[in-house]
Structure 1
């Protein structure tokens, strides 16, 4: 083989010597094309902020997709990109609980599940001490379009104010009066030349992550269109010469948050399965009564029957889509006296949020060994996405993305669409190879592109996304922004001992 290569090389050398001319490949210098990146303003949620591993902290912020993208833009005349750094190395995993825990890590080889570090860093939520008027990154974790437009997001914390967001409160120009879009618009009007806009994901993903248990947080189609156009429109009107890139909403099936905990996560031996079944005998008898009374049909009876077996089992969950069966008549009681709980086993068509992993198998009562969540005690509806709920989520996502596409098309002279929905779907289905190194849509080291919270990319994943922005921006504006090398950015660390 070596000799073959040598002869090929020799033949090529002779051919070049006998050729009349040889033109070396033209070296093309990076350039900004018809765009100007001297002042970039980024507006978005946690994906823009650099939130990863369940927390906001320096390592994530400095390698957000927006930070990486701005670094590449600096090679074609881009300016400084100021991010409101927390100054924290671990961040705050649980703001509502006093930041007692920090970012997620992998526990160890014997238990490779994400776990929050202890202690957390309350200073990660302290007011930003830098110049708020010089900020370029207005990415705020947890923000929906509605909360991006209301001053309540930065108002003092109050149980009566569900819109309060501690991540915005720390950077708000005037807490309680200013808004995220208002602050970003001010920055954009002050000489900005390019906009990165990625808002709207939480208008559907927040509902999905919560197991579709709170319908109030799923934005309606009409409200989304009004709010999206209002938010983006205010920025575009503030600076009519600036251009930008707008990203759409990912598919929930593209993120590992719904793939890390299996539906059949309950392993039982024969004796334990038999014991568990005995505790549901009354419930199963009630199902038979409901069938006899015509409260449910045979198919629902069979679906709801609790039957643990030796091996892996679907955990028990309370599903509010099941029929509310009144079986009072079977016992001679007045109507409404005996109502059957809506229990069933989780099924292969269900999606299980990562949050279920911290509850499944634990005890409701530390003194009662039979009170195991998922076996003796049913899991709440928030720990499961049913096919019907998933259908609603995907349908709403499609409508929202059409709104985003329509708005970009209406401003096609200034904006380019970044189809993150398709990009992450392809990554989830096929993975990719970058400079010889694999990247996939998982949290597994070393090739996973998502951080340990299962929703947000890690640094390497953010570099991959930044390159997708660059690809679209270059094509739209005839620019030649150099691509980042995702392999230069950290993935997830191996489990700690």
Structure 2
């Protein structure tokens, strides 16, 4: 996994001066009551956001600061019972021997090198640790956990048999996190939740149904005639397909809604009719998609002139086949747009000289494109050496060579994501009303957190800025302990409003933030 360098980015992520207090209810001198709810056996269902995942891994101290654990602590003040979690065996995370499941990110000072490979300084960067242990199975018959958040789970995975079967791991039809604590190889997340007969539940699912497409720069879903087709939905028998684990599709909104209803109907059949459900944030509100600007390329006058000569030739070739120009006029400045691949464009490589074939679906980025966080470590790098370019180099990623498609969510792809997210959220809001559940507008909260003013608690300001904002972890997607506390308070507010309970808020300042070396 590529390192994400922050030497130029971190310096620009500064706190704004003015703040607005988001929390009005004091946590002191609160008379705690359960109201119409019964918190004696609370079960949480969801994905990585429920499990306490952060910094690119699930690890023990992160789990201790999951938002369900925070909720359970406040519920305990109103008659709630014990809350158990499938704790990882260490504070690093990951699974040895399972590719793609490394340990947590930590901020470290790493060497910066010039084009010869010589060290020219240090840069503060998130560096991923190797996995610290083999996959450990802590579940089995009769072993249940209150926190059933499964990192990587999409909506339909909660109702998919075999999702916790270790034998399905080699064919990517199972999830190692659920393999750890499933009660059997054939069970489902829902079945294990139902078996616990919860008196109260939380459900936050659906983010991965669009997030995996987004973090992979957009793949698989197609738009024809203005209508988006979601390539992953059901098999030929109408059943949800378990083999889509690790796939990068956008899930059909009807599959998401149907899966959520199936979970709620299953819980209801066991008497669990009271709970809280949350909607899905826009990816444009999290730092994985907002940290790297579309125009981070510095150019000297001579470089800009040389590049413009080539791009003018390419714009001329586009005009010859009746297509609009795709390449900007670069300037001697620090804010030139990055060169990207856009698969939605007509491929004109057949009309170009061989040396220009790489530009067949290339263009310069605009403010509507989202450059993914990992791109920060490769923009301006010579791909043949992996180092900053030599003075005579003609191959510079994002400058003369387009960034790989998976490092950019183009404006077309981002529009698909927003359309799907809006469809999910409309369904989730309607389901919350139909089932009489408390509802959390997590999307609105993330938009607020991403604003310039952010939110604050007791004089401490939180925003969605990478590293310096105080709310998000080093993977740019998942919150820190303080960010999860902000989320927990939204759940607590919704529960109190719906069920006339009076659970106190938690104090985000008392939870962990970014640890600097």
Asked if Structure 1 and Structure 2 have the same fold, meaning a TM-score greater than 0.5 normalized by the shorter chain, the answer is: yes
409, 414, 425: which is aligned to 1:385?
A: 409
293, 298, 301: which is aligned to 1:267?
A: 298
Residues of 2 paired with 1:493 and 1:416: CA distance?
34
Q: 1:307 Cα shift?
A: 4.4
Residues of 2 paired with 1:342 and 1:410: CA distance?
46
Residues of 2 paired with 1:69 and 1:130: CA distance?
26
Q: 1:231 Cα shift?
A: 2.2
Residues of 1 paired with 2:375 and 2:364: CA distance?
14
RMSD: 2.9
Counterpart mapping for 1:82-101 below 5 A? 82-92=84-94, 96-97=98-99, 101=102
Q: 1:87 Cα shift?
A: 2.1
Residues of 2 paired with 1:160 and 1:119: CA distance?
21
Residues of 1 paired with 2:319 and 2:96: CA distance?
45
Q: Does 1:256 align with 2:287?
A: yes
Residues of 1 paired with 2:168 and 2:380: CA distance?
34
Residues of 1 paired with 2:77 and 2:257: CA distance?
36
Q: Does 1:342 align with 2:361?
A: yes
Contact 1:193 1:241 in 2 (8 A): yes
Which protein shows a greater Rg? 1
Counterpart mapping for 1:5-404 below 5 A? 29-92=31-94, 96-97=98-99, 101-108=102-109, 114-123=125-134, 125-128=135-138, 133-156=143-166, 161-175=171-185, 177-187=186-196, 189=197, 192-215=198-221, 216=231, 217-237=249-269, 239-274=270-305, 276=307, 281=310, 284-294=312-322, 296=323, 300-301=324-325, 303-304=326-327, 307=330, 309-325=332-348, 328=351, 341-366=360-385, 369-404=393-428
Q: Which moved more, 1:356-365 or 1:267-276?
A: 267-276
Q: CA 1:152 to 1:366, structure 2 compared with 1: closer, same or farther past 3 Å?
A: farther
Q: CA 1:157 to 1:262, structure 2 compared with 1: closer, same or farther past 3 Å?
A: farther
* Structure number having the greater helix percentage: 1
Q: CA 1:142 to 1:132, structure 2 compared with 1: closer, same or farther past 3 Å?
A: farther
Match of 2:447 in 1: 425
Q: 1:255 Cα shift?
A: 1.2
Deviations 1:356-411 (A, max 9, x none): 22332333222895433212321122222222222221121111111111111111
Residues of 1 paired with 2:272 and 2:169: CA distance?
42
Q: Does 1:451 align with 2:473?
A: yes
Residues of 2 paired with 1:486 and 1:131: CA distance?
37
Q: 1:475 Cα shift?
A: 1.5
Residues of 1 paired with 2:397 and 2:358: CA distance?
22
Contact 2:109 2:125 in 1 (8 A): no
Contact 2:267 2:273 in 1 (8 A): no
Match of 1:16 in 2: none
Residues of 2 paired with 1:142 and 1:182: CA distance?
18
Deviations 1:321-378 (A, max 9, x none): 22223654x99x9xxxx89611112222211111222332333222895433212321
Contact 1:325 1:339 in 2 (8 A): no
Q: 1:120 Cα shift?
A: 3.1
Q: CA 1:152 to 1:346, structure 2 compared with 1: closer, same or farther past 3 Å?
A: farther
SS at match of 1:219: coil
Q: 1:160 Cα shift?
A: 7.0
Contact 2:41 2:199 in 1 (8 A): yes
Q: CA 1:45 to 1:322, structure 2 compared with 1: closer, same or farther past 3 Å?
A: same
Q: CA 1:265 to 1:339, structure 2 compared with 1: closer, same or farther past 3 Å?
A: closer
Contact 1:93 1:116 in 2 (8 A): no
Name stretches of at least 5 consecutive residues in structure 2 with no aligned partner. Answer: 1-28, 111-120, 222-230, 232-248
Q: Does 1:434 align with 2:457?
A: yes
SS at match of 2:182: coil
Deviations 1:83-107 (A, max 9, x none): 00002112229985365x5211233
Q: CA 1:82 to 1:276, structure 2 compared with 1: closer, same or farther past 3 Å?
A: same
SS at match of 2:371: coil
Normalised by the length of structure 1, the TM-score is: 0.82
Q: Which moved more, 1:166-175 or 1:82-91?
A: 166-175
Deviations 1:207-227 (A, max 9, x none): 222222332410112222222
Q: Does 1:462 align with 2:484?
A: yes
SS at match of 1:116: strand
SS at match of 2:464: coil
Q: CA 1:272 to 1:285, structure 2 compared with 1: closer, same or farther past 3 Å?
A: closer
Residues of 2 paired with 1:97 and 1:308: CA distance?
43
SS at match of 2:313: helix
Q: 1:419 Cα shift?
A: 1.1
Q: CA 1:380 to 1:117, structure 2 compared with 1: closer, same or farther past 3 Å?
A: closer
494, 497, 504: which is aligned to 1:472?
A: 494
Q: 1:442 Cα shift?
A: 2.4
